[in-house]
Amino acid sequence: MAESLNQPTKMGGRQLRCRMAKGAGMVMGASPNAVECTPSPKPTTVAKVTDGGSSGSEARPYVPDTSKMLKCATANDIRVGVRRPVGAAGGAMVKPPRAVWAFTVGKAKHQLGMDARYDNPAPFVAAAWRRLGYEPLVIVVAQDEAHAARLQGEDADGVEPLLELRAMGVEVHVTAPPPHYSPQLTGQLVRIAAPAAAPLWDAETVVTTDADMMPLSARYLQQGRRDSMVVYNHGIIHDQFAMCYIQAPSRLWREILGIPATKPYETFPEAVAATFGQAPAPHWAMDQVEVTKKITNWGKWQSEGQRVPVATFPGWRLDRISPPSTFHQHVDNWRDCKEDAIDHHMHYIMPGECGGEAAKSLSRVVELLFDAQDAAALLRYLKRVTCDAGGSAKS
């Protein structure tokens, strides 16, 4: 029995009413559903945003320059001032949905053997989630306890992305792996187990994401009921749910994953060990394998005749695997409102690659997504980690 995605959803002060097209279903392994979304009339209120971040400095009126930003209808009511936490301006804090991911520091290896960096993209990913009204929670997995202590120091052990996240007021947790887990495996699995730890225990919405993926479409993430689980990007991997993106209330995450907790675990390593037990054998897609198994085996899907809710993919991805000419043509079409981009699979941002294709591609996306002040700050960070001496330190 397929759930109907017909609940009105809200983000950035605007509602979209979505209904499933005739004949659409939500069965694992089937083609993605067809969902039609219609925006409600644009509200007349204007959100108050202040400058100064979360550092406690005196707030000043924030006047964004949006002249270069995306002008398409899908970008209406997008947040500006993304270097400040969601809900931090204008008085009392709100309780925003949370986006969670993890990374290890320094060079990594992609599945295909190429050098990769999953730390340097973090400020861009955090800003992109804030643009859509989500407040990020980032877990930095150290090599061991001594390394974690250095990263928690005032200078963050010289790690530029960690310093930039702090400057943005992002909630960052630095942790060593649980016993018998490698840092890499912990980085994969901790975002799944995160709802069992104290920082996300009461979160009304938690979405998993990747360290190198910038979400672009509010409409896409507004599909589905907020009291259920919704799997996005279904079909990209034929027999697995991609970690970009799976969204559910924290309490439902714990129930589906079978996390044996009546009160939150104090640390993320404790949550990982409780969720997965003995460390699984390392594998590039271990997180996807584990989360797919746990979601599809949840008893209520069978006992209540339900199916895993799957969202439509109503656009395309700005993907680093595209040839540069194709990538930039897609950006042009997106800028000109001819195509709707869902997310941006980022090029690897490597120290020493000043002015390279990664920087050029990312700069174009940043200038369309963010107001001039935020874009300038993010591009200064990009210069530091690609052009300046030392790059992102700890390479």
pLDDT at 388: 85
Question: How far apart, in whole angstroms, are the C-alpha atoms of residue 154 and residue 138?
Answer: 18
Question: How far apart, in whole angstroms, are the C-alpha atoms of residue 248 and residue 50?
Answer: 30
- For the chain, residues with pLDDT lower than 50 are 1-58, 90-92, 391-395
Beta bridge partners of 10: 15
pLDDT at 73: 83
At which residue do the structure tokens 């997180």 appear? 287
pLDDT at 16: 35
Question: How far apart, in whole angstroms, are the C-alpha atoms of residue 291 and residue 286?
Answer: 9
Question: How far apart, in whole angstroms, are the C-alpha atoms of residue 310 and residue 295?
Answer: 12
Question: How far apart, in whole angstroms, are the C-alpha atoms of residue 90 and residue 83?
Answer: 15
Sign of the dihedral defined by the CA atoms of residues 148, 152, 157, 158, in that order: positive
The alpha-helical segments, DSSP class H, found in the chain are 122-131, 145-151, 160-167, 183-193, 218-221, 250-257, 268-276, 286-296, 299-303, 324-335, 357-369, 372-386
3-class SS of residue 373 = helix
pLDDT at 310: 82
The two three-digit tokens of residue 153, written as one number? 């120091």
Asked if 335 and 368 count as a contact pair (C-beta separation under 8 A), the reply is yes
- Domain positions in the chain are 8-386
pLDDT at 63: 83
Question: How far apart, in whole angstroms, are the C-alpha atoms of residue 323 and residue 330?
Answer: 11
pLDDT at 34: 33
pLDDT at 183: 94
pLDDT at 50: 36
